[in-house]
A and B are shown apart, each in its own frame.
Chain A
């Protein structure tokens, strides 16, 4: 699905943040990336999505699609989205004046037009939206509201999951999708991700907490520190971190 080889990246005209990342994710796999604040987790997800603040200084990112491999670094952010990479934001962005419905339909049609599906008119789209909302057990009222404006933390994260449900990514990068959620919201979000995760797509969870992994069991866990993966293992690694913190790994690695 995704192959990252010796990826290095820096903030444009700034310091190097990713210092050589290797990662291979197979279809149907779920990976977790953990690590201390500032270690580069969000940067990694944003570089995969093509954020313009960063400059890739070395390495490759290749996405496998039914039409063959795609060199992601050659693609604009919107082209990556149309190649069905989805970034769930750590801090979803407010878009004042644009209703969530309008936004979701624009995104849906943009991604699906690229897939060759005929764009849905507002009525057809509403039917689909209704179905997704019900499936995720979400409240319908915030569809009318402006995108993320005055949404609670939990609503923002659920809105990210709703977008994921609509866009049906082959690769979802979910950056702290569990932060700021109460226990019911966490369950709902985890449940949403579990429902959307199939044998044909892959999920990367960036998280600080084992509690998300109580609901979602990753195939691999990677520990990131100072721009590198310092340790990778199975889901037991996350439990170990929960108990012992990062120090024991960092000390060993350092």
Chain B
């Protein structure tokens, strides 16, 4: 257990390996966690020559050193009849997913939330992840299961993360037949946040997913959404807002596995200061998945000269009876809009701020649950206030 014979010692890996014994001590399945660590050793932490990590440099995020204290509590607001329990089994993840493997190997365990079949949950289900304090490592997990025909809205938040911390979490959502689910996840705070989210939808189900990254030194969201039953529909919306030297990277894969499924995707990025944004969206249409209808759009607003964004939409289509479209746009402020606002008395900075708020507002307004929408608007507002004082002369 002391480093591999075939690979040179990797100090980053070694510092995580040093945390392994205490993780295994509290583990329910040490063998699985040990296996995950070996898989991590095999795939290694990514560098920028790895295609999936080309635009995101994780070296500072994993540098540590980290402490691995016991995880704090989840904040749960579960209206009847929503149930929760300790996650019985750790999820499985691909062997090419270093941060998901890290999260498994050094897992803090997780929770499973279940909505029984045939229920309409009127009240918002709220889940706050444990908080990762400064200089700590936190690896929580969340599994959500919504029974057939149920209707429910979730808000999952990862907040108050401390500086130089590393939070790597795994989430999965299973939506059974004809269920209608909205799920919003919001990341705020600082440090590095890696989220590996898998969703799987049965026939006739509807999932509205909103992925928001508001600030934070480094964020990487890997989403793999599978439309596994006929008639399943996915509305996927995202907002990433970064400033200063922050960086946000969204990798999405939407897999149309069966005939007649539909996905709609809009991610918006607002990037200021010296910050960086990445969007990489893949739409995968399996050979038998006739009648697939998939749209994907990524729009970015660069608020400064030094802000940077890399966007790459990809289509992988294995049959020709499909309707797929994608696009990406990177823009700066529009001169006609700026002059219109200036002619109404707003100075340049105020005009830009209002336009940036509008740019975010366009995707936030797509959130149907009003409590979630207001939360997002409030956080976006705080972000803009913060990033303006930063950029003010």
A: which residues have CB within 8 A of B? 49-52, 76-78, 80-82, 86-87, 89, 92-99, 102-103, 106-107, 110-111, 114, 146, 163, 167
Contact of B335 with A98 in the complex, beta carbons under 8 Å = no
Complex interface: chain B residues within 8 A of A82 (CB): 345
Contacting pair A78 B347 (CB below 8 A): yes
Bound complex: CA A116 to CA B165 (Å): 47
Which of B336, B341, B357, B362 neighbours the largest number of chain A CB atoms within 10 Å of its CB? B341
A contact residues around B360 at 8 Å (CB)? 97
Known: A92-B340, A107-B341. 6 other contacts (CB 8 A): A93-B337, A95-B341, A97-B360, A98-B354, A110-B346, A167-B344
Contact of A102 among B343, B354, B362 (CB under 8 A): B354
Contacts of B351 in A (CB 8 A): 78
B235 in the interface, Cβ–Cβ < 8 Å? Answer: no
29 inter-chain pairs at a CB distance below 8 angstroms, sorted by A residue, are A51-B339, A52-B339, A77-B342, A78-B345, A78-B347, A86-B343, A87-B343, A93-B336, A93-B337, A93-B339, A95-B337, A95-B341, A95-B354, A96-B358, A96-B362, A97-B357, A97-B360, A99-B361, A102-B357, A103-B341, A103-B354, A106-B344, A106-B350, A107-B344, A107-B345, A110-B350, A111-B344, A163-B344, A167-B344
Bound: A93/B336 CA distance, A: 7
Q: Check if B383 is an interface residue, CB within 8 A of chain A.
A: no
* A86 contact set on B, CB distance < 8 A: 343
Q: Which residues of B contact A167 (CB under 8 A)?
A: 344-345
- Please give the number of chain B residues whose Cβ is less than 8 angstroms from any Cβ of chain A in the complex: 24
Inter-chain contact B350/A98, CB cutoff 8 Å: no
Q: Which residues of B contact A (CB under 8 A)?
A: 335-337, 339-348, 350-351, 354-355, 357-362, 365
**B344 and A146 within 8 A (CB):** no
Q: How far is the CB of B332 from chain A (nearest CB, A)?
A: 15
Give the 5 A-B residue pairs with the shortest CB-CB distance, closest first: A97-B358, A110-B345, A98-B358, A107-B344, A97-B361
| B361, A98: Cβ atoms closer than 8 Å | yes
State in angstroms the CA–CA spacing of A93 and B344 once bound together. Answer: 12
Residues of B close to A77: CB separation below 8 A: 339, 342-343
Closest B residue, CB atoms, query A107: B344
A224 to chain B, nearest CB (A): 21
A95 B340 Cβ-Cβ under 8 A: yes
If A96-B362, A106-B350 touch, whether A81 touches B344 (CB-CB below 8 Å) is yes
For B335, the chain A residues whose CB sits under 8 A away are 52
Closest-by-CB residue of B relative to A82 is B345
Task: Determine the residue in chain A with the shortest Cβ distance to B363.
Answer: A97
Residues of A within 8 A of B340 (CB): 89, 92-93, 95
Shortest Cβ distance from A87 into B: residue = B343
Give every chain A residue within 8 A of B346 (Cβ-Cβ): 78, 106-107, 110
Tell me if A81 and B343 are in contact (CB < 8 A).
yes
B interface SS class = helix
A103 to B361, CA, bound (A): 13
Which B residue sits closest to A77, measured CB to CB? Answer: B342
Task: Find the residue from B335, B344, B347, B355 having the highest chain A CB count within 10 A.
Answer: B344
CA distance in complex: A224, B342 (Å) = 27
Q: What is the CA–CA distance of A86 and B344 in the complex, to the nearest angstrom?
A: 7
> A residues within 8 A CB of B365?
97
Distance (whole angstroms) from the CB of A232 to the closest CB of chain B:
26
Q: Which residues on the B side are within 8 Å of A107 (C-beta)?
A: 341, 344-346
A88 → chain B closest CB, angstroms? 10
Smallest CB separation, B358 vs chain A (Å) = 3
- What A residues does B342 contact at CB under 8 A? 50, 76-78, 81
Residue of B nearest to A112 (CB): B345
A51, A106, A146 — which one has the most chain B CB atoms within 10 A of its CB? A106
A226 to B348, CA, bound (A): 33
Among B343, B348, B355, contact of A95 (Cβ-Cβ < 8 Å): B355
Instruction: Considering the complex, give the chain A residue whose CB is closest to the CB of B361.
Output: A97
Give bound CA distance, A16 to B101, whole Å.
67
Q: What's the nearest-Cβ distance from chain B to residue A139, in Å?
A: 21
Give chain A residues whose Cβ lies under 8 Å from the Cβ of B354: 95, 98, 102-103, 106
Closest B residue by C-beta to A166: B344
Question: Which residue of chain B lies nearest to A173 when distances are taken between CB atoms in the complex?
Answer: B343
Assembled-state Cα–Cα distance A110/B337 (Å): 16
Residues from chain A with Cβ under 8 Å of B350 in the complex = 106, 110
Q: Which residue of A lies closest to B336 (CB)?
A: A93
Using Cβ atoms and an 8 Å threshold, which residues of chain A touch B341? Answer: 95, 103, 106-107
- Separation of A77 and B354 alpha carbons in the complex (Å): 17
**CA of A96 to CA of B344, assembled, Å:** 17
> What B residues does A51 contact at CB under 8 A?
339
Whole-angstrom CA separation of A178 from B341 in the bound complex: 22
In the bound complex, CA of A96 to CA of B364 (Å) = 12
A50 / chain B contacts, CB cutoff of 8 Å: 342-343
Cβ of A49 and Cβ of B359 under 8 Å apart?
no
CB-nearest residue of chain B relative to A94? Answer: B337
Chain B residues near A98: list those with CB within 8 A.
354-355, 357-358, 361
- When distances are taken between beta carbons in the complex, the residues of chain B under 8 Å from A76 are 342, 347
Q: Let me know if B343 and A146 touch, CB within 8 A.
A: no
